[in-house]
Structure 1
Amino acid sequence: MTARIIDAHDVAFFDLDGVIYLGPIAVPGAVEGIRDVTASGARVMFVTNNAARSAAVVAEHLNSLGFVAGPDDLITSAQVAAGVLAETLTAGSLILVAGTQNLVDLLAEVGFRTTDSADDNPDAVVQGYSPNIPWALLDEAGIAVQRGATWYATNDDATRPTDRGLVAGLGAQLAVVGMTVRPRKPIVFGKPHAPMLDFAVSHTGAERPIFVGDRIDTDIMGANRAGMKSLLVFTGAHGKHDLLAAGPGDRPNYIGADLRALLEPARVATQEGHSWRCGAARAQLHDGRIQLDADLATQAGQLDALWALANLSWATDADPADSLAQLDQLH
């Protein structure tokens, strides 16, 4: 029997938004997939850049959708921020928090004082995603940074996938503050920045981890920077166009329709002259144009074709647009 992707790994890290759930609903197949990954013997750990909710609340959400999870199965960017700052700032430092009560509570737990006013002369500003952030609080954060407070952010995701479509993420809220403090930028803890996945590996003792995510710019880049394998799934923010646009250091090791691809053999693309083959699919150059020879009637066939096309596109200057348009079962 051909080895499955998961068989080579002791810990599987999963992003949440777009991989496990889309707002109030589970991604189709995710509950069964996580159950089967656990049954394989690999440890499952959920890793999210979303700092809005506590690990306990997120675990309750997961359980309500049919997953089995507790707070110890979760790592949030807010937890990482609080842990790193506890080792970086002086105990008792005053922090202006532009985020939810979860972030306020975590920072208080590690010994910091918090405020929502720049006039209190905070030592630092920490921003975390909040779906109901008051505009006035963003003003206070910008004023505090202008006055010399060190600027931190739990993450810098531009968008978040939901069951209704993409919505603005913390990156948009950072941009509001950033307009007032140019050219300064915040120190960021979440993916793809090192603190998040360094914490995840240390927390789990992972020796052969893999990261499963739906975003090139956070999940896949973060995994690559941490030296771990990655699987890009097409259930959330990024799709086929993002994959082909990824630079040499930003590409996944594997692709799959959803996280259940971990339980299947890896797609492998091999070069054959001026063409690349994956399974029965072949992408080849003919008179400077890319041609696809594949079974495009199934999603699996289109994924094989995409992986062959991606490898050919990365190796040449040929325009893949016409070929991508044929992969109509992939977003």
Structure 2
Amino acid sequence: MTQSVRTTTGTSEKPLSEAYDTALLDLDGVVYAGGEAIDHAVDSLTAAREGGMHLAYVTNNALRPPEAVAAHLTELGVPAHPADVITSAQAVARLIAEELPDGAKVLLIGGEGLRIALEERGLVPVESADDEPLAVAQGYGGPDLPWSRFAEAGYAVARGVPWYASNTDLTIPSGRGIAPGNGAAVEVVRIATGGAEPRVAGKPRPPMHRETILRTGARRPLVVGDRLDTDIEGAHEGGVDSLLVLTGVAGVEELLRAVPEHRPTYIGQDLRDLLTAQPEVRAEGGRFSCGGWTATASSGALTIEGGGERADGVRALCAAAWTAAGKHAYEGRTDAAREALAR
């Protein structure tokens, strides 16, 4: 089924935590950064859960097993069970297990989370390309993963062993800024093998969405994320609504220039927007208004005037940019609008 092109953010008269039964929450850049809770995350998630919303934590980070992630969330003040956590390690392990015999050897290039996920599917992780693996599984292994692991992956893939990646996020948020993610490590193996391509399970690919729905049983899910190319595109591919929070990777500039599959249903400053209704963006004569802001896209540039909540200004600007761009990315100037919004 062909999806219509989104040119403005959605409207919800109810708080999102009441309009949807399950929040499919990304972790890095949404709930925490560098291991520390993001401002307002704990209180907002507590209120959403107490109001009856099911919280599921869906992460492309394959490093830690669900038990460790749930324990970390509980320490931060957001009680969670391992069953509430869905990782790209689980998604890629299911994908491999469906295509290999039980007990097959798999070359592990990653951390403990990926190892446990493979073993849960009846697969046997091995350390060397010389162990005759039937597949290579690559996931984020943390900043200290030895360079020799990438060499082992390269040796196996070059011999024709099928290659699977948990995800291809080029970057990952940390407490000190943006760090290289598993996608950067995948590029190392791709270059070493002369351009081989892995099968990818994580967001925005369908295997991750399937894993999430199978494990949560969500009937009306809302994807909550900070990245356009994984969280929002994954929601688009799965045909579900999404909330982008501006606490992680994606910023206003990237949002204004988003292609249709990267345009979220809703925009929020942080997780407090999970607890609020979403205002309508009103269009009249090429002017787009939300809250106290009015934005226009004319003469190849975005402009905005007024004042009020920053998120309302971003919503108005997105409507102006996305309407002007249609099926493409907005290519006009945005500097004046961003400066006005910052002031």
Structure 1 position 118, deviation (Å): 1.3
Structure 2 CA distance for partners of 1:4 and 1:105, relative to 1, 3 Å: closer
Secondary structure at the aligned position of 2:264 is classed as coil
Asked if 2 retains the 8 angstrom alpha-carbon contact of 1:267 and 1:307, the reply is: no
Tell me which of 270, 287, 296 is aligned to 1:275: 287
Residue of structure 2 equivalent to 1:12: 23
Residue of structure 2 equivalent to 1:129: 140
Residue of structure 2 equivalent to 1:238: 250
Does 2:62 correspond to 1:51? Answer: yes
Residue of structure 2 equivalent to 1:84: 95
TM-score w.r.t. the length of structure 2 is 0.90
Q: How many residues align?
A: 325
Residue of structure 1 equivalent to 2:335: 321
Asked if 2 retains the 8 angstrom alpha-carbon contact of 1:255 and 1:267, the reply is: no
Structure 2 CA distance for partners of 1:216 and 1:288, relative to 1, 3 Å: closer
Residue of structure 1 equivalent to 2:150: 138
Tell me which of 295, 304, 312 is aligned to 2:312: 304
**Take 1:138 and 1:285, find their aligned partners in 2: how far apart are those partners?**
47
Residue of structure 2 equivalent to 1:252: 264
Map Cα deviations across residues 249-303 of structure 1 (whole Å, 9 max, x no partner). Answer: 22000000111101111132222112111122101246554331121xx5x2x22
Structure 2 CA distance for partners of 1:265 and 1:109, relative to 1, 3 Å: closer
Residue of structure 2 equivalent to 1:180: 192
Bigger CA drift: 215-224 or 195-204?
A: 195-204
Residue of structure 1 equivalent to 2:41: 30
Bigger CA drift: 137-146 or 73-82?
A: 73-82
Amino acid at match of 1:195: P
Secondary structure at the aligned position of 2:316 is classed as helix
**Take 2:193 and 2:203, find their aligned partners in 1: how far apart are those partners?**
23
**Take 1:290 and 1:133, find their aligned partners in 2: how far apart are those partners?**
44
Residue of structure 1 equivalent to 2:173: 161
Bigger CA drift: 75-84 or 243-252?
A: 75-84
**Take 1:285 and 1:220, find their aligned partners in 2: how far apart are those partners?**
24
Question: Percent identity over the alignment?
Answer: 41
**Take 2:197 and 2:19, find their aligned partners in 1: how far apart are those partners?**
38
Secondary structure at the aligned position of 2:69 is classed as helix
Tell me which of 57, 63, 72 is aligned to 1:61: 72
Amino acid at match of 2:98: E
Tell me which of 155, 159, 177 is aligned to 1:147: 159
**Take 2:116 and 2:262, find their aligned partners in 1: how far apart are those partners?**
35
Residue of structure 1 equivalent to 2:327: none
Residue of structure 1 equivalent to 2:275: 263
Structure 1 position 84, deviation (Å): 2.5
Structure 1 position 326, deviation (Å): 2.5
Bigger CA drift: 313-322 or 203-212?
A: 313-322
Structure 1 position 205, deviation (Å): 1.7
**Take 2:113 and 2:299, find their aligned partners in 1: how far apart are those partners?**
58
Unaligned runs of 5+ in 1: none
Pick 1 or 2: higher relative contact order, CA cutoff 8 A, min separation 6.
Answer: 2
Asked if 2 retains the 8 angstrom alpha-carbon contact of 1:159 and 1:167, the reply is: yes
Amino acid at match of 1:324: R
TM-score w.r.t. the length of structure 1 is 0.94
Does 2:116 correspond to 1:105? Answer: yes
Structure 1 position 63, deviation (Å): 1.2
Structure 1 position 91, deviation (Å): 1.4
Structure 1 position 232, deviation (Å): 0.3
Amino acid at match of 1:70: H
Unaligned runs of 5+ in 2: 1-11, 325-330
Asked if 2 retains the 8 angstrom alpha-carbon contact of 1:254 and 1:267, the reply is: no
Map Cα deviations across residues 36-78 of structure 1 (whole Å, 9 max, x no partner). Answer: 1112211110111111011111111111111111101111111
**Take 1:203 and 1:111, find their aligned partners in 2: how far apart are those partners?**
18
Amino acid at match of 2:164: Y
Asked if 1 retains the 8 angstrom alpha-carbon contact of 2:157 and 2:196, the reply is: no
Secondary structure at the aligned position of 2:262 is classed as coil
**Take 1:287 and 1:79, find their aligned partners in 2: how far apart are those partners?**
49
